[in-house]
Structure 1
Amino acid sequence: MPTLHQYDYVFGIGTVFALLDAFNNGANDVANSWATSVSSRSISYRWAMVLATVCEIAGAVATGARTASTIKDGIIPASAFEGNAGVQLLAFACAIAAASSWVMWCTAHSTHVSSSYSIISAVAGVGVATVGASEVQWGWNKGKGLGAVFSGLALAPLISGGFASAIYLLIKFIVLLRANPTKWAVYTSPFWFFLAAAVCTLSIVYKGAPQYHLTSKPSWWVASVIVGTAAGVCLLSIVFFVPYIYCLMIKKDQSLRWYHIFQGPALFRRNVEAGESINVPNYNVVQEEDMVSDSAADSATGDAEAGKGEPLKDNDVTVVNANKEGHFDEEKSQANYKALMEQSKRKLNARLEAKSGPLGWAMRTLRDHPMGAGSIYELHNIKTFFVRLPAMIVCGALYGINYDIHAAQTGVLGTPEGERMARVYSYARRYPNEVEHSYSFIQVITACTASFAHGSNDIGNSAAPWAAMYAAWKTGTVSEKGTNPVPVWQLAVLAITLAIGFITYGYNIMKVMGNKITYHSPSRGCSMEMGAAITVLLAAQYSLPVSTSMCITGATIGVGLCNGTIKAVNWQRVGLLLTGWIMTIPIAGTAAGCLVGLFLNAPHFLTS
């Protein structure tokens, strides 16, 4: 058997795939966590990137070590490797390679899968290939075996849906269905600040980072810290937020600005320049309308400014394959559908091409220098490739930051998906914009809480195999259970990589998940995010790496059903998500097992 130093390249390759897995996790799961807030118009995509980065890193570094230890130590016992650190190193390298490759493929095709179940299935697969199926912990194993982990496939969405629907029903019956919902929204808002702060504090104090030994504190101390912190946030909301939102929503102060919130109770005595309405986002806009009016008009201007191509008309997006009633024309539907989607993509890109910055230059360069006829090795294509290469790099870094999420979230008008989403939206009751606006502030907090929970829970997907590889590579011995905690610097590096994945590639999932399951609004969105966050944090407390995507999906379905009919949920999208989750288990597990089996049984050209 080769000596350990001959496996340095294995650790290097495993490290690359661990970082790639974290990148894909950010592009897939973090994007899904913030899709609700962005699609509800509670926060812009760019601000979501900033807050997600801060919360993900904080959650991963402060509370991420326990979950990582579960994946590393709870599925394949260290004793099964019989002291062969090289086999353990190779096993986890193959596991992270298979898992990250599968998630990367799914993300590239806008297919949302569970990165948690991907790495867990891959670890189980390499366990079967290296030490045999009998050594893999298929049972409960004190809450750390595969039986406990995969129980979350059904339990996590149900529990999350229950929490989310309970929270939304409270909002619905206490505020939304009242005769004067605006006042009720203003005066009950401190309670939701209290709840959001309590959940976030719970994740830090009660779960805590192991090195702080916070869980060994008395129960009364833990409860006091949680309630005290939440009460403090609630008090701040009463002093500053309630007066601000009172002037904005009830007095309809036209001159009020965001920085006036620091005046606190003095706002109650403020001279008001009242108006008919307040300037808040229109939360009741259906995204298909954005696609036809806003994006089409702006993109037509973009094409004209770019000086290339004919300006697109607003109705170009519907005439391709929609009849007078707006229904999808089955005759030659596939060809027309592809043409319609291509036009839609062109409309979205035209706005970016009109920009004056680096992204606009890059988009115009790619548009004006298409690859020519023939293969890549043709001389004219080689020259074109090197012209396009700098623009491709710029687009890769900046395209996601500037992507129009709202215009791409739902099916294009005239397509089967567009009709389906219109039907789903028709069963969702719309509430006044002023009322929804009050929950947009709370939704930002709940989104940050969900992001913190994701960082504490899902960072283990990448950190656990990487930590096991690092320990085996560094010490030359098999990593024994509990003796090699996940280094904080690994959690920090992976958290930063995870944030980069969300910033640069998260749009690919957000454009699919936002409003694809049911109608979103700030009041619904904060309920979804809070329900998912509570479920994830409860699972993390017991070191169970549940899928964040399953939690937010279950929460979304639960809130959608609160509309009073199952027709308010897009069950086709739910079925596609469920199929992807189930397929992840055999695909990731088989790929990882075959990969490690191939390497272990290949001829060894190196000598000891």
Structure 2
Amino acid sequence: MVMTEFTYVFAIGTFFALMEAYNNDDVANAWATSVSSRSVTYQQAMILCIVFEMTGALTVGARTASTIKNGIIPITAFNDNAGVQLLAFTCAAAGAAIWVMWCTRNSAHVSSTYSLVSSIAGVGVATVGARGVQWGWNGGSGLGAIFSGLAMAPFISGCFGAIIYSLIKYVVHVRKDPVKWAVFTSPFFFLIAGTVCSLSIVYKGSPRLGLADKPAWFIASVSLGTGFGLAILAGLFFVPWTHAKVIKRDHTLTAWDVFYGPLLFNRPAPVDAQKAKVPNYAVIQHGADDDRDSTGSETDASSSKEKDLSPETDRENIDAEHTANFGSQADYKLLMVKAREEHHAELRRKRTPLGWAMRRLHNNPVGAGSSYELHNMKAYLMRLPAFPVVALFYGMSYDIHRSQVGILGTPEGKRMARVYSQAPKYPNEVEFLYSYVQVITACTASFAHGANDVGNAVGVWAAMYSAWSTGTASAAKNPVPLWQIAVMALTICIGFITYGYNIMKVMGNKLTYHSPSRGSSMEMGAAITILIFSQYSLPVSTSMCITGATVGVGLCNGSFKAVNWQRVGLLFLSWVVTIPIAGLIGGILMGLSLNMPHF
């Protein structure tokens, strides 16, 4: 290819690489548990995601990038032909992006990691034949090593999640005074999070921090020192603050009061402390109304559409509430449309750029007839300025809890009611405390995602950039520029902010019963697994890890019925069909590109 063709192909490849990163639904999985259990709002998750996703990517993410770039199709297969290498990775990015974009648009839950890996394999078959692709272990970087994670990652993360939740269950939940046990054992999670994150950076060395050949004593001392340091800080500041907040029920406490530290133990409780309420985490939302007002307290039960699945609720009563004849599929779709219109009406009342855009769309509807009718063409012109504003801000205002409306009376609603009834419900004060802990574990999971999945996305783009900028095939050990990792990490964050709700609305509470104590265990189990795989340069799917951890925690309820196995089976099926479909798309695009007529 001449230089003009190089630039043209690189531009196309860059577009698809960014689209694949934008639709990376794994980052939504890292935060879905926290948002669905209401430990954080979607807006808070956005800010924390940017901070920890970028940190994990910039410090650790380069290791898995080399596996994606060099471990599946050997560099010798391109015969030092930069044009073929550029075209190959462009088609690989296009194959993965097309499949992931379609799945995300239809709220289907697939692995972006395995979509990209499978697409690269399909491109390799189309380029050099099946024999030229590294199907085996290949020193831990071949397809055999990568696809081994399909079984190992969910199992390992399930074990980690079950172990962590079992510690919470037997150390806190089953005690006579679980609230105090929860308060004074909370620094343990700071210890785990700090140790895991620092270990991921110093073990085998972050390429960006010059830690490649540090001795074992240095790795252990830095990792444990960071973990214990955070635990001590938590004991000095977080424990007194939560003691006053949860045990004394001091509703006058502010976030800035945490800096008073141990002095808060001597702070007298307010006179009306017993009137203070904490959110009811045993409530499952099926209606459009939120179960909490703006102050965080519960609204009157008679005005709420919530169903309280408290421990004393009889299972027969639960099933009876969900046996009403729901009607046809058209009725269900009509109810969903009604819920969406209620949400849009609320957005139109806001004096924000999104409110302006929603009002403009509402006031200029498309009329009857084809799109080329004069009145419709005028409507499109009037609506056009609002589209980019909605695309940018709509996801930031989406309420994933309201999107759950309509499951009452449906087969899924009945199934989930049976699943929820198998899970013991623990005191809300304990769950309220673990909502703070879950923020820490979610940040750790986001850090782990940045350390692993950003490398997957940037590896292909780095190979394309190297071939385009140098005119030669990328060397096997070519470093990945830091700015490329930063661009991909930022693209993933933007995708989560503007479009992540499309995955989060179907992931929350669909596998098993969620609560902050359970969710923190799921996220920490998944984060540990992801970081372990990253240390050995093995790309692994965050969705697989969080699914495995969710199932592991769900089984800790003591019954197989506490897990929605139908949903688990559908997830596993989506992972499996991703391999041939993404591979076929990438392979067909590469085959057509290589063999099409040209001048």
Q: After superposition, what is the alpha-carbon deviation per residue over 1:320-358, rounded to whole angstroms, capped at 9, x for unaligned? A: xxx99543537x622222222222322333322322222
Offset at 1:209? 2.2
Residue in structure 2 matching 1:458, options 453, 460, 464? 453
Corresponding residue number in structure 2 for 1:343? 338
Q: After superposition, what is the alpha-carbon deviation per residue over 1:36-81, rounded to whole angstroms, capped at 9, x for unaligned? A: 1111111111111000011111111111111010011100001011
Corresponding residue number in structure 2 for 1:93? 90
Q: After superposition, what is the alpha-carbon deviation per residue over 1:430-474, rounded to whole angstroms, capped at 9, x for unaligned? A: 111111111111111111110011001001222111111111111
Corresponding residue number in structure 1 for 2:348? 353
Contact 1:532-1:551 within 8 A present in 2 as well? yes
Corresponding residue number in structure 1 for 2:37? 40
Offset at 1:255? 2.2
SS of 1:210's partner is coil
Code of the aligned partner of 1:513: M
Offset at 1:196? 1.2
TM-score (norm 1): 0.92
Contact 2:339-2:405 within 8 A present in 1 as well? no
Offset at 1:579? 1.5
Contact 1:64-1:491 within 8 A present in 2 as well? yes
Contact 1:344-1:412 within 8 A present in 2 as well? no
Contact 2:52-2:450 within 8 A present in 1 as well? yes
Residue in structure 2 matching 1:294, options 273, 290, 294? 290
Code of the aligned partner of 2:543: S
Residue in structure 1 matching 2:185, options 185, 188, 191? 188
Corresponding residue number in structure 2 for 1:491? 485
CA distance in structure 2 between the partners assigned to 1:187 and 1:601 by the alignment: 67
Q: Percent identity?
A: 62
Q: Does 1:105 align with 2:87?
A: no
Q: After superposition, what is the alpha-carbon deviation per residue over 1:232-291, rounded to whole angstroms, capped at 9, x for unaligned? A: 101101111111111122222232222111001111121321521544322222121xx2
How many residues are treated as equivalent by the alignment? 577
Offset at 1:207? 4.5
Corresponding residue number in structure 2 for 1:267? 264
CA distance in structure 1 between the partners assigned to 2:406 and 2:592 by the alignment: 43
CA distance in structure 2 between the partners assigned to 1:215 and 1:40 by the alignment: 39
Code of the aligned partner of 2:380: F
CA distance in structure 1 between the partners assigned to 2:167 and 2:406 by the alignment: 31
Bigger shift: residues 176-185 or 198-207: 198-207
CA distance in structure 1 between the partners assigned to 2:128 and 2:275 by the alignment: 68
SS of 1:405's partner is coil
SS of 1:212's partner is coil
Q: Does 1:327 align with 2:319?
A: no
Q: Does 1:237 align with 2:234?
A: yes
Q: After superposition, what is the alpha-carbon deviation per residue over 1:571-598, rounded to whole angstroms, capped at 9, x for unaligned? A: 2211221121111111110011110110
Corresponding residue number in structure 1 for 2:502? 508
Corresponding residue number in structure 2 for 1:320? none
Offset at 1:186? 1.0
Q: Does 1:408 align with 2:403?
A: yes
Contact 2:57-2:486 within 8 A present in 1 as well? yes
Contact 1:409-1:515 within 8 A present in 2 as well? no
CA distance in structure 2 between the partners assigned to 1:176 and 1:597 by the alignment: 58
Q: Does 1:375 align with 2:374?
A: no
Corresponding residue number in structure 2 for 1:584? 578
Residue in structure 1 matching 2:76, options 58, 66, 79? 79
Q: Does 1:22 align with 2:21?
A: yes
Corresponding residue number in structure 2 for 1:527? 521
Q: After superposition, what is the alpha-carbon deviation per residue over 1:396-425, rounded to whole angstroms, capped at 9, x for unaligned? A: 111111111222247532222222222221
CA distance in structure 1 between the partners assigned to 2:341 and 2:416 by the alignment: 22
SS of 1:83's partner is coil
Contact 1:81-1:478 within 8 A present in 2 as well? yes
Corresponding residue number in structure 1 for 2:597? 603
Contact 1:140-1:148 within 8 A present in 2 as well? yes
Corresponding residue number in structure 2 for 1:575? 569
Change (3 A) 1:558 1:33: same
Contact 1:471-1:479 within 8 A present in 2 as well? yes
Q: After superposition, what is the alpha-carbon deviation per residue over 1:306-327, rounded to whole angstroms, capped at 9, x for unaligned? A: xxxxxxx998xxxxxxx99543
Corresponding residue number in structure 1 for 2:551? 557
CA distance in structure 2 between the partners assigned to 1:202 and 1:539 by the alignment: 13
CA distance in structure 2 between the partners assigned to 1:457 and 1:358 by the alignment: 35
CA distance in structure 1 between the partners assigned to 2:205 and 2:509 by the alignment: 34
Residue in structure 2 matching 1:216, options 213, 216, 235? 213
Corresponding residue number in structure 1 for 2:57? 60
Contact 1:517-1:574 within 8 A present in 2 as well? yes
Contact 1:295-1:407 within 8 A present in 2 as well? no
RMSD value, Cα:
2.0
CA distance in structure 2 between the partners assigned to 1:437 and 1:294 by the alignment: 17
Corresponding residue number in structure 2 for 1:446? 441
Offset at 1:297? 12
Code of the aligned partner of 2:566: Q
Q: After superposition, what is the alpha-carbon deviation per residue over 1:72-124, rounded to whole angstroms, capped at 9, x for unaligned? A: 11000010111111001000000001101111111111111100000000000
Change (3 A) 1:409 1:113: same
Q: After superposition, what is the alpha-carbon deviation per residue over 1:193-234, rounded to whole angstroms, capped at 9, x for unaligned? A: 111111111122215422434241010110000111111101
Corresponding residue number in structure 1 for 2:135? 138
Residue in structure 1 matching 2:115, options 118, 121, 133? 118
SS of 2:513's partner is coil
Code of the aligned partner of 1:456: A
Q: Does 1:129 align with 2:126?
A: yes
Contact 1:410-1:421 within 8 A present in 2 as well? no
Contact 1:296-1:347 within 8 A present in 2 as well? no
Offset at 1:180? 0.6
Change (3 A) 1:567 1:329: same
CA distance in structure 2 between the partners assigned to 1:410 and 1:576 by the alignment: 21
Contact 2:249-2:274 within 8 A present in 1 as well? yes
Q: After superposition, what is the alpha-carbon deviation per residue over 1:497-552, rounded to whole angstroms, capped at 9, x for unaligned? A: 11100000111111110111111111001100000000000000000001111000
Code of the aligned partner of 2:447: F
Contact 1:365-1:388 within 8 A present in 2 as well? yes
CA distance in structure 1 between the partners assigned to 2:322 and 2:60 by the alignment: 51
SS of 1:459's partner is helix
Within 5 Å, give how 1:425-440 maps onto structure 2. 425-440=420-435
Code of the aligned partner of 2:5: Q
Offset at 1:296? 13
Change (3 A) 1:548 1:165: same
Contact 1:410-1:511 within 8 A present in 2 as well? no
Code of the aligned partner of 2:261: G
Bigger shift: residues 377-386 or 124-133: 377-386
Code of the aligned partner of 2:166: L
Residue in structure 2 matching 1:542, options 528, 536, 539? 536
Structure 1: 5+ residue stretches without partners: 299-312, 316-322
Bigger shift: residues 368-377 or 8-17: 368-377
SS of 1:142's partner is helix
Offset at 1:8? 1.2
Within 5 Å, give how 1:387-402 maps onto structure 2. 387-402=382-397
Code of the aligned partner of 2:574: G
CA distance in structure 2 between the partners assigned to 1:542 and 1:369 by the alignment: 55
CA distance in structure 2 between the partners assigned to 1:130 and 1:328 by the alignment: 57
Corresponding residue number in structure 1 for 2:300? none
Corresponding residue number in structure 1 for 2:316? none
